[in-house]
Chain A
Amino acid sequence: MPTLLEVRDLTIEFRTKAGIVHAVEGASFNVERGEAMGLAGESGCGKTTTALALMRLLPYNGRIVRGSISFEGRDLVPVPEDSMRAIRWKEMSIVFQGAMNSLNPVQRVGRQIAEPIMLHEEAEPEASFKRAGDLLELVGISRNRLNDYPHEFSGGMRQRVMIAMALACNPKLVIADEPVTALDVMIQAQILDLLERLRRELHLAMILISHDLSVLADTCEQVTIMYAGKTMESGKTMDLFTDPKHPYTQGLVGAFPDIRGPRNMPEAIPGDVPSLISPPSGCVFHPRCKFAFDRCTKAEPALTELSVGRRAACFLYPQVTEVPPRPIAITEV
């Protein structure tokens, strides 16, 4: 069986008045069946954009410039929109960032879950409502609450509803974009626990997006670290967190206080995230990197395999190669 999801050199741009935003450049990662892959990085590094591209749901001004997204061996990039309907939600679904706050306030929750089922599966209303009830129970909410309105649900329960909706058509892969951000720590734990249980019981693959490394450390087998649209490092969670190779990963890991570690003040990563309209030359991280040397400003390090399952893009490692200069993209204005 082919790998469930294989993303190669995925590059996404947004066209804006101020110029072209190079939101994602050369993203490459794999997700195996039943596995959880974590996608981490600071705000604006392109996590959501990557997720939307996987679902082929980029906003009108965004486009995939190059790269491939192969899902069960089939490249989704050239798939026309109407064939995408057979894949979106049914094979692969997403819990949007912050969506728990955008449930329709004047429609009963049951209806909001059942409607997409009717739409996507062309199911009868009665069967759809029954399925909505089953889904609610699957995520730990009594089916008696199908007739409630969203405001009668707490934040954690609304997030459960969003998860239930993502599961409606039995997908193989669920993307959860910041599913626990802005939730209290106990509710975070409940939601993460639920996701882990669902993953086990339904043999789901998952892409968990979070800016909080701690959340991923606990729940994912693989982690990919992004910075300014580029993939800096990826590998097994245990290896990546205990022995980060890339200076950015090192900075990121050191920036989180550890309640089970020593009481050290975390270290800051000095400087700001660069503009994605005119990103720095060479390694995008070089203006903030304390190890940067001459080569870093001139050439761009390619994401290179350092050991089995472990890849990083940093010239500190001699085996890391340079990204060949790309032909200048001709974009119509």
Chain B
Amino acid sequence: MRKGLLRELAGGKPLWVRAVDGVDLDIRRGEVFCLVGESGCGKTSTGKAILKLVEATDGDILLEMPEGEARAYEDVRQRPDDPEARKTLDGLRRKYSVTWKESLPWTVEQALKSAGAFLAAVFLAIVAPSLLLAAVVEPFGDPWSTIGLCVSIGLILGLIGSLPPTRLSRRTRVILTLLALGSIIVAPISALSLHRALVGDVSRFDVGAALATPWTQELAAMLVGFAFGAIAAGGSSSLLLDWRSRSEGMAGIHMRSIRRRLQLIFQDPYESLNPKQSVYEIVSEPLAVNRISTNPGETSALVREALTDVGLRPPEEFLFRFPHELSGGQRQRVSIAAALVLQPDFIVADEPVSMLDVSIRTEILQVMMELRTRRGITYLFITHDLSLAWVLADRIAVMYLGKIVEMGTTEQVIGHPMHPYTKALISVVPSPDPRHKVERIILKGERPDPSDIPPGCRFHPRCPFAFERCGWTAEEVADQLRSLKAGGMLATASGVDLSDAGNVRLSMGGGGPDALVRELNALVSERRETLLPLKGIAAVHATNGFVELSLHASSEPPLLEIEPGNSVACHLVSPPATVSESLTA
């Protein structure tokens, strides 16, 4: 897992997920997005990284990022070396990322800056208004206490404003300012009226009369308090938030509210439930942990509602059962209920039905889909079962070795697959209708090693369509030649090895260089369609006593949008733009 990013655009707009090696998955609100691939391809880590159950080594999970800023984010991420872009990027991350921690060392400059900000805030909030007031307004009654009151209210509000789970946004500032203004207007009035009431005739005290008296001084005091109180509130809150996001990252500030909105359903209904807890305890636990409900009556109502939602009806019948008293399907429903009780709007479901029998499986899927219609829940559905993805997903991303190789709508990806890996995967999915027979493309090998990712296209060693620029390495070509030699071919060579420079080098047998070069060339043109590594050979040349091969240059195919909404990472599938470029070139 290299990079992970989840981005949710507010209010009915898309929810984007970027996960694994810098590729965007954009998930729209209320849709079912399926992540498919073989086990070990990184599906589960992606899901977990999104929920912050594992730390992504790099990258962002960004929440509620407006479209415009999302584009800016994309743009500046392309230019990591540009200091200006870096600054914008950090700014955006500070605002939306839940994974990002600002790693600013405490340099002298940094310390001075913070101290300066603090002094400025103190000056603005306390010293400046006092000086101003002393100069402009003739001291009366006790204006200091009035101003002091305003300022302290501002500071307190600022402090409250920076506490979790508030997120740093424009909204926060507006709310804070309004709150400050409100209290600042009310506070001096009541203070002054009280003063009047205490000093003057007690029987004449009423707010209307107090307001009706000419009060230039009070008005001036109020206006000053008004302005500086607000500044104090805004200043202290952003100072505090800034300090906190530096020390804990936005993650620390947000995670509680995010945990609640994003939920995970696990694969194994037998392992994910604690056998010693009753259904009630299991489902109510998240409520307690997230401090959503501590009132037993309310908790019980929420638990019942969640159980009813997942079809465990009547809930009373299940509340006090233990997992071993439930069927597999019922257990899985309990884990869904435990996720639902927090009313999330995004659920990561990691193989939620793969352990279940078919009839129960359908029931669980129906429950999940019904909840999507009723509550607008968005699903990231992780599965290795493509036929399930076919009927469930709105859009699909196919992963191979931690990278998205194809992504698009279900019709695009399964109906018309373009990446060779997708094609192969789909061809081997069995169908319950024996009339639907297709030619199966069975790939060789299993579960590739994620710690040893092949160069070029990471799928090339298993790809039945791999060609010149897919990333053949000298070892692969040498191995192929060795096995040919072991099979009795290449009689004119005495050995195949790698030169110091890492090139494939054949040592001469009896026939001399020309014979070997000729035999190699013939072999390559004859066998290249079946022995794909031979396609990597660009040229064969004789150099002092050896025959050396040079290989085709290769590159990793980027994930490119081939059709609107459909992206593929394969050299065979070039987007229209690249084709026309290469035609003109």
On whether the beta carbons of B327 and A242 are closer than 8 Å, the reply is no
The residue on B at minimum CB distance from A140 is: B444
Contact pick for A185, options B327, B360, B429, CB 8 Å: B429
The residue on B at minimum CB distance from A251 is: B359
Most buried by B among A185, A189, A192, A212: A185
Min CB–CB distance B102 → chain A (angstroms): 41
Task: Provide the residues of chain A in CB contact with B405, threshold 8 Å.
Answer: none
On whether the beta carbons of A258 and B387 are closer than 8 Å, the reply is yes
On whether the beta carbons of A241 and B434 are closer than 8 Å, the reply is yes
For B361-402 the 0/1 string (1 means CB < 8 A from A) is 111011001000000000000001111101110000000000
The verdict on A65 contacting chain B, using a C-beta distance below 8 Å, is: no
Contact pick for A186, options B357, B365, B388, B446, CB 8 Å: B446
Task: Provide the residues of chain A in CB contact with B362, threshold 8 Å.
Answer: 255, 265-269
Provide the bound-state CA to CA distance between A189 and B426, in Å.
11
Query: Which chain A residues in 243-278 approach chain B with CB under 8 Å?
Result: 251-253, 255-261, 263-270, 272-273
The verdict on A30 contacting chain B, using a C-beta distance below 8 Å, is: no
On whether the beta carbons of B446 and A260 are closer than 8 Å, the reply is no
The residue on A at minimum CB distance from B327 is: A272
For B401-425 the 0/1 string (1 means CB < 8 A from A) is 0000000001000100000000011
Task: Provide the residues of chain A in CB contact with B363, threshold 8 Å.
Answer: 268, 270
Task: Provide the residues of chain B in CB contact with A272, threshold 8 Å.
Answer: 327, 329
Provide the bound-state CA to CA distance between A255 and B388, in Å.
11
Provide the bound-state CA to CA distance between A213 and B387, in Å.
13
Task: Provide the residues of chain A in CB contact with B430, threshold 8 Å.
Answer: 188, 192, 212, 214-215, 217-218
The verdict on B170 contacting chain A, using a C-beta distance below 8 Å, is: no
For B94-109 the 0/1 string (1 means CB < 8 A from A) is 0000000000000000
Provide the bound-state CA to CA distance between A215 and B435, in Å.
14
For B489-511 the 0/1 string (1 means CB < 8 A from A) is 00000000000000000000000
Min CB–CB distance A96 → chain B (angstroms): 19
Task: Provide the residues of chain A in CB contact with B436, threshold 8 Å.
Answer: 258, 260-261
Task: Provide the residues of chain B in CB contact with A212, threshold 8 Å.
Answer: 358, 430
If the complex has contacts A256-B387, A257-B391, A259-B426, are A213 and B440 also in contact, measured as CB distance less than 8 A?
no
Task: Provide the residues of chain A in CB contact with B437, threshold 8 Å.
Answer: 218
For B345-367 the 0/1 string (1 means CB < 8 A from A) is 00000000000011111110110
Min CB–CB distance B193 → chain A (angstroms): 68
The verdict on B274 contacting chain A, using a C-beta distance below 8 Å, is: no
Task: Provide the residues of chain B in CB contact with A157, threshold 8 Å.
Answer: 446
Contact pick for A42, options B359, B385, B388, B443, CB 8 Å: B359
Provide the bound-state CA to CA distance between A261 and B432, in Å.
9
The verdict on A282 contacting chain B, using a C-beta distance below 8 Å, is: no
Contact pick for B384, options A184, A211, A258, A266, CB 8 Å: A184
Min CB–CB distance B274 → chain A (angstroms): 23
On whether the beta carbons of B446 and A261 are closer than 8 Å, the reply is no
Contact pick for A237, options B390, B428, B434, B447, CB 8 Å: B434
Contact pick for B434, options A186, A188, A238, CB 8 Å: A238
On whether the beta carbons of B359 and A269 are closer than 8 Å, the reply is yes
The verdict on A154 contacting chain B, using a C-beta distance below 8 Å, is: yes
On whether the beta carbons of A214 and B446 are closer than 8 Å, the reply is no
The verdict on B38 contacting chain A, using a C-beta distance below 8 Å, is: yes
The verdict on B442 contacting chain A, using a C-beta distance below 8 Å, is: yes
For B19-52 the 0/1 string (1 means CB < 8 A from A) is 0000000000000000000110000000000000
On whether the beta carbons of B38 and A259 are closer than 8 Å, the reply is no
On whether the beta carbons of B434 and A156 are closer than 8 Å, the reply is no
If the complex has contacts A186-B443, A193-B442, A263-B410, are A217 and B391 also in contact, measured as CB distance less than 8 A?
no
The verdict on A43 contacting chain B, using a C-beta distance below 8 Å, is: yes
On whether the beta carbons of B446 and A187 are closer than 8 Å, the reply is yes
Contact pick for B366, options A184, A193, A218, A268, CB 8 Å: A268
For A99-133 the 0/1 string (1 means CB < 8 A from B) is 00000000000000000000000000000000000
On whether the beta carbons of A189 and B359 are closer than 8 Å, the reply is no
On whether the beta carbons of B359 and A186 are closer than 8 Å, the reply is no
Provide the bound-state CA to CA distance between A43 and B440, in Å.
29
On whether the beta carbons of A259 and B414 are closer than 8 Å, the reply is yes
For A65-98 the 0/1 string (1 means CB < 8 A from B) is 0000000000000000000000000000000000
Query: Which chain B residues in 310-343 approach chain A with CB under 8 Å?
Result: 327-329
Most buried by A among B430, B433, B443: B430
The verdict on B438 contacting chain A, using a C-beta distance below 8 Å, is: yes
If the complex has contacts A154-B447, A186-B442, are A218 and B431 also in contact, measured as CB distance less than 8 A?
yes
Task: Provide the residues of chain A in CB contact with B428, threshold 8 Å.
Answer: 185-186, 188-189
On whether the beta carbons of B410 and A214 are closer than 8 Å, the reply is no
The residue on A at minimum CB distance from B442 is: A189
On whether the beta carbons of B357 and A42 are closer than 8 Å, the reply is yes
On whether the beta carbons of A258 and B386 are closer than 8 Å, the reply is no
On whether the beta carbons of B434 and A242 are closer than 8 Å, the reply is yes
The verdict on A190 contacting chain B, using a C-beta distance below 8 Å, is: yes
Task: Provide the residues of chain B in CB contact with A261, threshold 8 Å.
Answer: 431, 433, 436
The residue on A at minimum CB distance from B440 is: A189
Task: Provide the residues of chain B in CB contact with A260, threshold 8 Å.
Answer: 431, 433, 436, 438
Min CB–CB distance B356 → chain A (angstroms): 9
On whether the beta carbons of A184 and B431 are closer than 8 Å, the reply is no
On whether the beta carbons of A184 and B358 are closer than 8 Å, the reply is no
Provide the bound-state CA to CA distance between A266 and B366, in Å.
9
Min CB–CB distance A285 → chain B (angstroms): 12
If the complex has contacts A217-B434, A242-B435, A269-B359, are A257 and B442 also in contact, measured as CB distance less than 8 A?
no
Min CB–CB distance B107 → chain A (angstroms): 50
If the complex has contacts A156-B446, A255-B359, A259-B390, are A186 and B433 also in contact, measured as CB distance less than 8 A?
no
Task: Provide the residues of chain A in CB contact with B329, threshold 8 Å.
Answer: 272
Provide the bound-state CA to CA distance between A260 and B358, in Å.
18
On whether the beta carbons of A214 and B387 are closer than 8 Å, the reply is yes
Min CB–CB distance B444 → chain A (angstroms): 8
Provide the bound-state CA to CA distance between A184 and B298, in Å.
44
Task: Provide the residues of chain A in CB contact with B387, threshold 8 Å.
Answer: 214, 256-259
Provide the bound-state CA to CA distance between A232 and B494, in Å.
66
Min CB–CB distance A227 → chain B (angstroms): 11
On whether the beta carbons of B431 and A268 are closer than 8 Å, the reply is no
The residue on A at minimum CB distance from B39 is: A184
Provide the bound-state CA to CA distance between A69 and B437, in Å.
34
On whether the beta carbons of B359 and A268 are closer than 8 Å, the reply is yes
Provide the bound-state CA to CA distance between A272 and B433, in Å.
25
Provide the bound-state CA to CA distance between A163 and B68, in Å.
58
A255-B358, A258-B431 known; 19 new pairs, CB 8 Å cut-off, are A42-B359, A184-B446, A189-B440, A213-B358, A213-B432, A214-B432, A241-B434, A242-B435, A255-B361, A256-B358, A258-B390, A258-B433, A259-B387, A261-B431, A264-B391, A266-B365, A268-B360, A268-B366, A273-B357
25 interchain pairs, CB-CB under 8 A: A43-B328, A154-B446, A154-B447, A155-B446, A186-B446, A188-B430, A190-B446, A192-B430, A193-B442, A214-B429, A214-B430, A217-B430, A217-B431, A217-B432, A217-B433, A218-B434, A237-B434, A257-B391, A259-B429, A259-B431, A261-B431, A263-B391, A263-B410, A268-B363, A272-B327
Q: 6 closest A-B pairs (Cβ-Cβ)?
A: A189-B428, A214-B430, A268-B362, A260-B436, A269-B359, A259-B387
